Structure 1
Amino acid sequence: MDEKKSTKENEQTDQSNQKKYSLKRLFKLPHVFVLLFIIVVLASILTYIIPAGEFDRVEDPTTGRTIVQQDSYQQVEQDPVGIVEVPGLFITGLNEASDIILFIFVVGGAFQIITATGVFDSIIRKITNMLGNKEVLIIPLFLILFSIGGFTIGMTVEGMALIPLAIALARSLGYDAITGLSMVFIGMYVGFISGLMNPFNVGVAQQIAELPIYSGMWLRAIILVVLLITASIYIIRYANKVKRDPSKSIVREMELKADTKDRVVGSTQIQMRHYFVLITILSGICLLVWGVANRGWYIDDIAALFITMGVVSGLFAGLGPSRIAEEFIEGAKAFALGALIVGVARAIPVALEEGLIIDSVINGLANIVVVFPESIQVVGLFLTQTIINFFINSGSGQAAATMPIIAPLGDLIGITRQTGVLTFQLGDGFTNLIFPTGTTLMAYLAASGVPYEKWIKFIWPLVLMFIAIGAIFIVIADIIQY
């Protein structure tokens, strides 16, 4: 009797486990390529549903930028994306993102050469020993450091080259790859979003809104501090959880594979060749900051700088030309999947552009805001910008498309132009941390090796917190007539 009872209980347990497994499979995110393909197909379908339309655009004689003319939206002949054209969208996306894809390969190869010199192993172990039981301070320090690059020179993709270093440091402290990625990526975007002196979002938006450049900085500085504190607490809590129990890591499988290959090991002894490599790296970073700030360097220039840093570092470390070439190829291979993801993601806005519905979406969202109750119109404007950011991921591009609409719209409904700029910069910024249309996010994930679906699981609560914080500051700005 007991034996039958036991067998029945085992069968019930098996059935229960099968149901749990089936539910888990049902709600599991598909592979990122599948997810992006679905989004591209949906975007193509929308080109049949949403009426095609365009704004008239003119060149601003002061800035040379192309901006949207007020009240110029008009419907045009429908030009939907056919099903047979969908494969071509991916080719176009890969082509349009080719500069970033090339950048990913070059940076991956260059940093593999630098990693092979052993300089990171020795320096990170030294830093770890110096920090002692205060090692958690590394997280807010990195966030603050990279936020400075974000709110001054508008650093975004430039910081990607430092991801391997940040991950190596995080792992040496007992954390994981997501922690290392977050210290750079979130810190940089917190600075970019707050935009104290960011020329790419606040600078462009204020020029279009005819405001003094970088005016109203005091409120943006408060927002920066609040976002840094929030991000620090969030990442520290996650990092400490992983350190206490490594099985809690969202990228546990990735960390198990990295245990023998990527974790920092060895002594703290820094050899003379390491000093030469370190001088090369620091000189390269200083040159990067100078070039971006003073010479307008972007992808091609930065890629050339990093490949030079890699080769010079390899020679200083005595690796030899053939070994340098082998390490470069090894590093580039490791980033192949991520580089392809960047190009595939670019196919989403390509579909909307070719179907001539991006301007229709912007115009429709702007019209919806006007019918909101007066008390929440400013929040509606903020959320509208958040939605638009899915379609136009570029900060300056979104400013050029929406600020000519927001500025007069704000005048109409009693929202100051400074508050209008704030709704734009916060609406443009927060979802850059999660939207797959963002090539910068995809590039950082490629550099870290963190799968997109794992990143979503980690980041979505913080994005919701940021959006809530943004909404609060938007309401405050409206109340005080900022």
Structure 2
Amino acid sequence: MKEKKKGIKINAFCLLFCVIIICALASYVITPGTFDRQIVDGRTVVVPGSYHVIEKAALSPLAIFNAIPNGIIGAANMVVLILLVGGSIEVYNKSGAINAGIGKLVKSVGSKGGPLVITVFFAVFAVLGGFLGWIEVCIPFAPLIIPILLALGYDTIVAVSILVLGLMVGFAIGPTNIYTVGIAHQVSQLPIFSGIKLRLIAYFIFTGITLIYILMYAAKIKKDPEKSYMKGIDVSDLNVDLSKNAEITRSQSMALVILVLTFVISVYGMLKLKWSIVDMTGVFLLSGIIAGFVTKMSASDIADSFIEGSKGAMGGAMIVGVARAVQWILEQGGIIDPIINGLSQLLDGLPPVGSAIGVFIVVSLLNALVPSGSGKAMALMPILMPLAELIGITRQTMILAYQFGDGISNIFWFTYGGLLIFLSYGKIPLARWYKFVMPLIAVMIVLAVIFLSIAVKIGYGPA
């Protein structure tokens, strides 16, 4: 007798389409408006106090459906990255290099080496997220990390949480995150990355608690797989076949070296050469082609592998585009600035600590509609800085509240394409992810409130 499945199935595509419809309907209710903007040091910033109502044609019903192709176009660089990286990784899979490499790794660390692997991987991604502000550029790691953790006896939630929580918690509390802290400091005319000591303390506390949380769940399901939140979901196609115990060949070893160099070159290019997502995509395309020839695959087989891998990555690529469609419909309806203006007015009259916490909440809500951390910083900082002075808190405290709100909420907003693509790689339904992550998010909210209260009390500076 089959066990009856329980729980609510949440389809991310359906949720996002419902959000698009709601945003389109909101454009008929919310009066369109805009802030004046000006160019400062090559960046477009909002002029404080410049909000005014504008006339804008109502959206047609067709706009709901136009939003999706326009969203895909708007996120084209990420969509192409996901498709071509998927194709490139499939070339490595077909060559047998990844299977052989994972088999050797699992044999080396043994049955008790899982916690060490989790800790090392998590630390790497926490550094990339916290100090470089990287999230989406680490997507290529997903199809490699997942089979490794599965081979070590864990589920895809463990694997994906290493990526998502490592990157996003690091990003949320990042001491030198250029996309939130750096831009906010520039707009607010504060020394770049000033006030780093408090952020470093917060960074180590947040990431330390997160790592412990992952390790506790990993130990629980390793001991009893029935307790896995992924129970009943088929992820067999994500596993690697280690039963043959075949020795790794010379050509496969060369392919793995090429794969490692691909990541090293990509990181160097993004850091030192100011590469874009397109440049990194081209490197992975070249990497797959070279690896294919090194492992004696024919040109036709390489092409077929790219097509097959891209097909497998199509769902993840589409989810990024559909998530971007939410922002497109808001922009077309002219209701992003009215929402920002309305939420900022809610903060008037609050005491200093309440205002800092209020900014944290407001930014968390706005992140559902405008996931871009840098974009929100450019829009909100010119509004929040005068508000900080009026209510008697430092600019640094206001930026910390913004950083917490923007980063922590990335972990659960289903309108954020970055989260959805990582979940899609691990075949993790949103409901299962929420079941796993919500207790941790509750702890993070409490920690954020504590640190904001401390920042207000000590006059966190420089002002």
Give the TM-score band, short-chain normalised.
over 0.9
> Separation in 2 of the partners of 1:428 and 1:148?
18
> Separation in 1 of the partners of 2:12 and 2:359?
31
Name the structure 1 match of 2:30.
50
Name the structure 2 match of 1:99.
77
Deviation, 1:263, is: 4.9
Contact residue 353 and residue 456 of structure 2 kept, 8 A = no
Q: Which amino acid aligns with 1:127?
A: L
Deviation per CA, 1:201-239, whole angstroms, max 9, x where unpaired? 111000111110111111111111112112112212222
The answer to whether the aligner puts 1:370 opposite 2:348 as a matched pair is: yes
Contact residue 176 and residue 255 of structure 1 kept, 8 A = no
- The alignment yields a C-alpha RMSD, in angstroms, of 2.2
Name the structure 1 match of 2:188.
209
Deviation, 1:345, is: 1.6
Name the structure 2 match of 1:142.
121
Pick the structure with greater CA Rg.
1
Name the structure 2 match of 1:306.
284
Contact residue 345 and residue 438 of structure 1 kept, 8 A = yes
Deviation, 1:268, is: 7.0
Deviation per CA, 1:257-276, whole angstroms, max 9, x where unpaired? 337x5354442733322321
> Separation in 2 of the partners of 1:78 and 1:460?
40
Name the structure 2 match of 1:383.
361
Aligned pair in 2 of structure 1 residues 228, 476: CA closer, same or farther (>3 Å)? same
Equivalent residue runs for 1:72-471 within 5 Å: 72-132=50-110, 133-255=112-234, 257-258=236-237, 262-267=240-245, 269-471=247-449
Q: Equivalent residue of 1:66, what SS?
A: strand
Aligned pair in 2 of structure 1 residues 420, 240: CA closer, same or farther (>3 Å)? same
> Separation in 1 of the partners of 2:102 and 2:87?
21
The answer to whether the aligner puts 1:473 opposite 2:433 as a matched pair is: no
Q: Which amino acid aligns with 2:201?
A: I
Deviation, 1:310, is: 1.2
Out of 39, 43, 46, the residue aligned to residue 19 of structure 2 is 39
Deviation, 1:358, is: 0.6
> Separation in 2 of the partners of 1:429 and 1:43?
23
> Separation in 2 of the partners of 1:169 and 1:370?
50
Deviates more, 1:265-274 or 1:178-187: 265-274
Deviation, 1:377, is: 1.6
Deviation per CA, 1:370-391, whole angstroms, max 9, x where unpaired? 1334441211111111111112
The answer to whether the aligner puts 1:67 opposite 2:60 as a matched pair is: no
Deviation, 1:367, is: 0.8
Q: Which amino acid aligns with 1:239?
A: A
Contact residue 34 and residue 51 of structure 2 kept, 8 A = yes
Deviation, 1:130, is: 3.0
Deviation, 1:446, is: 3.6
Q: Equivalent residue of 1:67, what SS?
A: strand
Q: Equivalent residue of 2:154, what SS?
A: coil
> Separation in 2 of the partners of 1:318 and 1:139?
34
Aligned pair in 2 of structure 1 residues 187, 263: CA closer, same or farther (>3 Å)? farther
Q: Structure 2: which 5+ runs fail to align?
A: none
Deviation, 1:121, is: 2.4
Contact residue 171 and residue 264 of structure 1 kept, 8 A = no
Question: How many correspondences in the alignment?
Answer: 458
Taking structure 1 as the reference length, what is the TM-score of the superposition?
A: 0.90
> Separation in 2 of the partners of 1:195 and 1:311?
36
Aligned pair in 2 of structure 1 residues 163, 81: CA closer, same or farther (>3 Å)? same
Q: Equivalent residue of 1:450, what SS?
A: coil
Deviates more, 1:263-272 or 1:153-162: 263-272
> Separation in 2 of the partners of 1:192 and 1:228?
10
Aligned pair in 2 of structure 1 residues 123, 41: CA closer, same or farther (>3 Å)? same
Q: Equivalent residue of 2:347, what SS?
A: helix
> Separation in 2 of the partners of 1:347 and 1:206?
29
Contact residue 108 and residue 335 of structure 1 kept, 8 A = yes
Deviation, 1:98, is: 2.0
Deviation, 1:58, is: 0.6
Deviates more, 1:264-273 or 1:310-319: 264-273
Deviation, 1:199, is: 1.5
Identity of aligned residues (%): 34
Q: Which amino acid aligns with 2:195?
A: G
Deviates more, 1:30-39 or 1:352-361: 30-39
Aligned pair in 2 of structure 1 residues 388, 256: CA closer, same or farther (>3 Å)? closer
Contact residue 10 and residue 430 of structure 2 kept, 8 A = no
Q: Which amino acid aligns with 1:225?
A: F
Name the structure 2 match of 1:9.
none
Deviation per CA, 1:279-317, whole angstroms, max 9, x where unpaired? 212221121111111222122111101111111112212
Deviation, 1:435, is: 1.2
> Separation in 2 of the partners of 1:162 and 1:397?
26
Deviation per CA, 1:39-93, whole angstroms, max 9, x where unpaired? 1111112212222110101111x2x110101111111225443333211112211
Q: Which amino acid aligns with 1:383?
A: I
Contact residue 100 and residue 443 of structure 1 kept, 8 A = no
Q: Equivalent residue of 1:335, what SS?
A: helix
> Separation in 2 of the partners of 1:294 and 1:438?
28
Contact residue 177 and residue 255 of structure 1 kept, 8 A = no
Q: Structure 1: which 5+ runs fail to align?
A: 1-16
Deviates more, 1:461-470 or 1:207-216: 461-470
Name the structure 2 match of 1:12.
none
Contact residue 342 and residue 439 of structure 1 kept, 8 A = yes
Deviation, 1:349, is: 1.4
Contact residue 121 and residue 265 of structure 1 kept, 8 A = no
Deviation per CA, 1:1-50, whole angstroms, max 9, x where unpaired? xxxxxxxxxxxxxxxx99x97xx5xx614422221111111111221222
Deviation, 1:320, is: 2.3
